[in-house]
Amino acid sequence: MIFGMCFSYSVVNKKLNTMKKILIASTVFLMATVIKVNAQTDTTNNFKRTDSTVTRTDTTYSLTDNAVTKSTSVNTTSSTSYTKPAATTERVHVGVRAGANSSNIIKSGSGDVDISTGAKLGFNAALFLEIPIIPAFSIQPEVQYSQKGYKSSGTYLSTPYEYKQTTNFIEVPLLAKFKPSPGFGIIIGPQFSFLTSTKTKFTVANTAHETQIDADNDNLRKNILGGVVGLEAAAGPLVFDLRYSLDFQKNNGDGTSTTPAYKNQVIGLSVGVRL
């Protein structure tokens, strides 16, 4: 009986040991499984965060590429827009213009006979160049034909008369042009005038007498230095010019009513085309 009880105890003890081992193995297995699952979950989460970070980094990098590309594009556009106006600014223009003069004289002395004068209409035409120097400033040499002169009136033996003198000049103005704003200019500079012909017209009692004055007449100065100041407005190729010119030197008149000592002054208005 004792043997039987010992045998039974031994069997039970072995079963308990076996169950303990199974329980311990099961516990270890479960713990390992939990740890593994947790590890996989953490790794997966980390990988997702890492992927997300990488994706954001890629997006940032892509945006960086776009920013660089845009910057390059802007620089290229800026370079192009700068070059084109520079080429336009440096261009030399040629032009022609024509218009009307209102001319008179400033008497420098009339001797024993005083005369009153009035303005006389005439004609002007010119060929010119506009040479840019710096922005808003250019040099404008010209070759110009200009009619000058004056008219006077009075009585002769109780009979009214009118006297006109027309002087024709070839002129070379050398002008500086300032442009305070686009389409508007201020011109100023010297002018050299060369007398080509002089004609007088005396009208009394509805009878006119015209005389061509000889070119070698000593009372008329052939080469005269003067000055010009004026305004210019431009609309596309069209140019509108208003200027005042004055001789710095007087003619060689003797101061009489027929050959007064004077200086020419002219107000000219013209319209032209500049290419």
DSSP state of 145: E
Same domain assignment for residues 52 and 98: no
Same domain assignment for residues 40 and 138: no
Most confident of 56-65, 162-171, 198-207: 162-171
Same domain assignment for residues 16 and 109: no
Higher-pLDDT residue of 119, 43: 119
- Listed residues 70, 87, 104: the one ending a domain: 87
Same domain assignment for residues 139 and 215: yes
Same domain assignment for residues 182 and 54: no
Same domain assignment for residues 164 and 70: no
Q: Does 211 score more than 60 pLDDT?
A: yes
At residue 6, the pLDDT reads: 43
At residue 21, the pLDDT reads: 65
Most confident of 36-40, 106-110, 144-148, 206-210: 144-148
Same domain assignment for residues 221 and 135: yes
Same domain assignment for residues 32 and 146: no
Average pLDDT in the chain: 78
At residue 108, the pLDDT reads: 77
At residue 264, the pLDDT reads: 96
Q: Which domain holds residue 228?
A: 90-274
The token pair at 225 is 């230095």
Residues contacting residue 243 through CB under 8 Å, at least 6 positions apart: 187, 228, 229, 230, 231, 267, 268
Q: How confident is the model at residue 1 (pLDDT cuts 50, 70, 90)?
A: very low
With contact defined as beta carbons under 8 Å apart, do 184 and 165 qualify? no
Same domain assignment for residues 33 and 106: no
Q: How confident is the model at residue 17 (pLDDT cuts 50, 70, 90)?
A: low
At residue 218, the pLDDT reads: 83
Q: How confident is the model at residue 9 (pLDDT cuts 50, 70, 90)?
A: very low
Q: What is the CATH number of the domain that holds 256?
A: 2.40.160.20
Alpha carbon 147 to its chain's center: 34
- Listed residues 87, 102, 128: the one ending a domain: 87
Strands 261-274 and 137-156: unpaired
At residue 216, the pLDDT reads: 78
Which of 19-28, 98-107, 171-180, 193-202 is predicted least confidently?
Answer: 19-28
The neighbour count for residue 142, using CB atoms within 10 Å, is 20
CA distances from 231 to 9, 13, 22, 179 (A): 133, 127, 114, 10
At residue 5, the pLDDT reads: 44
Same domain assignment for residues 190 and 82: no
pLDDT in tens, 45-100: 443 444 444 444 444 444 445 444 444 444 444 444 444 444 445 699 999 999 99
The token pair at 217 is 């007449």
- Listed residues 52, 87, 122: the one ending a domain: 87
Same domain assignment for residues 258 and 162: yes
Count how many domains the chain has. 2
Same domain assignment for residues 154 and 247: yes
